Amino acid sequence: MARVRKIAFEEHYTAVGFKDYTKSFSQHIDPAVFADLAARLEDFDEVRLREMDDAGIDYVILSQTGPGVQAEPDAAVALERARRNNDFLAQQVARHPDRYGGFAVLPMHDPVTAARELERCVGQYGFKGSLVNGHTNGRYYDDPAYDAFWECMQALDVPMYLHPVDPYIVPHAYQGHPELVGASWGWGVETASHALRLLFGGVFDRFPGIKLILGHMGEGLPFQRWRFDSRFAVYSHGITLQRPPSEYIGSNIVITTSGVCSPHALLGAIAEMGEDAVMFSVDYPYESTRIAARFIEETPMDERVREKICHGNARRLFKL
C-alpha cells in the first residue's frame, strides 16, 4: 500500500463533565463496545498516536465528541463547561504540538458569547477553528442574531466543522424505526438541512469568507448540486441569492471523507465539488483508522489529487 502523509480533523476526544451529554447516543451502543470507545476518547498518548503512526497521519485536529454543550439547556453552564473543556484541550495540544491541533467547543446559546470564546481559543491557544454539534436546543444558526458570530468567525478566518446531532424533534417518518434517527440516516439529513438553512438563509452572501466543513462525504449534498439549482429556479419562495446554490457547495461548504470509505462516492464528490474542496478524515474512534487510510490510499486517482485530499487542502485551510 502506497504511503501518503495525512492530516485528519474529525477526530474526537472527551473530557471530564461531558459523558452525560453522550448518553443520547451511547445508550444504543453495546456496553462492551462503548467501553472501548470511551477509553480511546480519553487517550491522548498511547493508542491514538500509535494508530496515527500506523496510518501515516502526521497531524490531527481534536474535537469534543457530540453532542457536547449544544445539548446543555443552561447557557451559563454551557459557557463554563466550554471554557473548561477548551482549557483542557489546550493542555493536551501543548504536550504534542507537532501532532495535535484543537477545535474550540462553543456555547452557541448566545452568538456574542460564542464569538468571544472563539476569539479566546484562536488568540490564546492557536485553535484551528471550531466544531459545533448542530443546533443548540432547536436553534439554528441562520437566525439573523447569529450574524454577530459569523462576522467574528470571518474576521478570524477560521472554519467551523458542523457535526451531526439528533433532530430537535424526531420526524414522524422515523416513528417505529429508531435505526433511522441517528448515524445511519437521520444525522446526515439533519446536518445537511442545517447547512442548507445557512446557504438559503444568505449567510454565505453576507459573509462570503466563511468556510463550513461537513463530514461524511458532505452529508449527501455534493450529489444534489444540480437539483438544487434546477428546483430553486422554480421554487425560490421569494428568496434571492447572489449565486446559484450549487456554487456555494465547494466554495463556502467543503467536506471530509470521514465515515464514508467508498471510492465511488469519493470520486463523485471530487467530480462535483472540485479537488480543492474534499479532504481526508477518519471520525476516530467511531470509525477504523486502518480502513480509512487504506481507502484513501487505494482509491484510483491522480497522485497529485490524492496528496491534496490527504494533506494539501487541509494545510491550506488551516494555514499549517
pLDDT at 30 over 90: no
List, for residues 217-255, the tens digit of each pLDDT value: 999 999 999 999 999 999 999 999 999 999 999 999 999
Q: What is the pLDDT of residue 35?
A: 83
Which pLDDT belongs to residue 114? 98
Tell me the per-residue pLDDT of 117-167, one tens digit each, with 9 for 90 and over. Answer: 999 999 999 999 999 999 999 999 999 999 999 999 999 999 999 999 999
Query: What is the pLDDT at residue 28?
Result: 67
92 in a domain, yes or no?
yes
Tell me what the mean pLDDT of segment 16-21 comes to. 70
Burial of 120 (0-12, 13-18, 19+ CB in 10 A): middle
- Confidence band of 25 (pLDDT split at 50, 70, 90): low
Q: With 60 as the cut, is the pLDDT of residue 2 above it? A: no
| Residue 1: per-residue pLDDT | 46
**Structural domain contains residue 1:** no
Residue 29's pLDDT is 73
Whether 189 is in a domain gets the answer: yes
Query: Is residue 18's pLDDT more than 80?
Result: no
| Residue entry with cell 487542502 | 313
pLDDT digits (tens, 9 = 90+) for 280-307: 999 999 999 999 999 999 999 999 999 9
pLDDT digits (tens, 9 = 90+) for 98-121: 999 999 999 999 999 999 999 999
pLDDT on residue 38:
86
Contacts of 148 (CB under 8 A, 6+ apart): 111, 112, 115
147 belongs to the catalytic site: no
Q: Is residue 262 part of a domain?
A: yes
Mean pLDDT of 90-94: 98
pLDDT of residue 34: 75
Structural domain boundaries, residue 209: 6-318
- Residue 176 is predicted with a pLDDT of 96
Average pLDDT over residues 56-68: 96
**Which residues fall within 8 angstroms of residue 1, CB to CB, at 6 or more apart?**
294, 297, 298
Cell numbers standing for residue 122: 484562536
Low-confidence winner among 22-26, 87-91, 108-112, 176-180 (lowest mean pLDDT): 22-26
pLDDT tens across 127-139, in order?
Answer: 999 999 999 999 9
Distance in angstroms (rounded) separating the CA atoms of residues 281 and 314? 10
Calculate mean pLDDT across residues 6-34: 79
Judge whether 60 lies within some domain. yes
User: 30: buried, middle or exposed (CB in 10 Å: 19+, 13-18, 0-12)?
Assistant: exposed
Torsion, CA 248, CA 253, CA 258, CA 262, rounded to 10: 10
Q: Is residue 102 part of a domain?
A: yes
Q: Does 267 fall in a domain? A: yes
Task: Specify the number of domains making up the chain.
Answer: 1
Distance in angstroms (rounded) separating the CA atoms of residues 188 and 262: 16
Look at the pTM and tell me if it is higher than 0.85: yes
| Weakest mean pLDDT among 33-42, 80-89, 153-162 | 33-42
Mean pLDDT within 255-261: 98
3-state secondary structure the chain: CCCCCEEEEEEEECCCCCHHHHHHHHCCCCHHHHHHHHHHHCCCCCHHHHHHHHHCEEEEEEEECCCHHHHCCCHHHHHHHHHHHHHHHHHHHHHCCCCEEECECCCCCCHHHHHHHHHHHHHHHCCCCEEECCCECCECCCCHHHHHHHHHHHHHCCCEEECCCCCCCCCHHHCCCHHHCCCCCHHHHHHHHHHHHHHHCCHHHHCCCCCEEECHHHHHHHHHHHHHHHHHCCCCCCCCCCCCHHHHECCCEEEECCCCCCHHHHHHHHHHHCCCCEECCCCCCCCCHHHHHHHHHHCCCCHHHHHHHHHHHHHHHHCC
Return the CATH number at 32: 3.20.20.140
| Among 30, 166, 283, 302, the one annotated catalytic | 283
Q: What is the pLDDT of residue 45?
A: 95
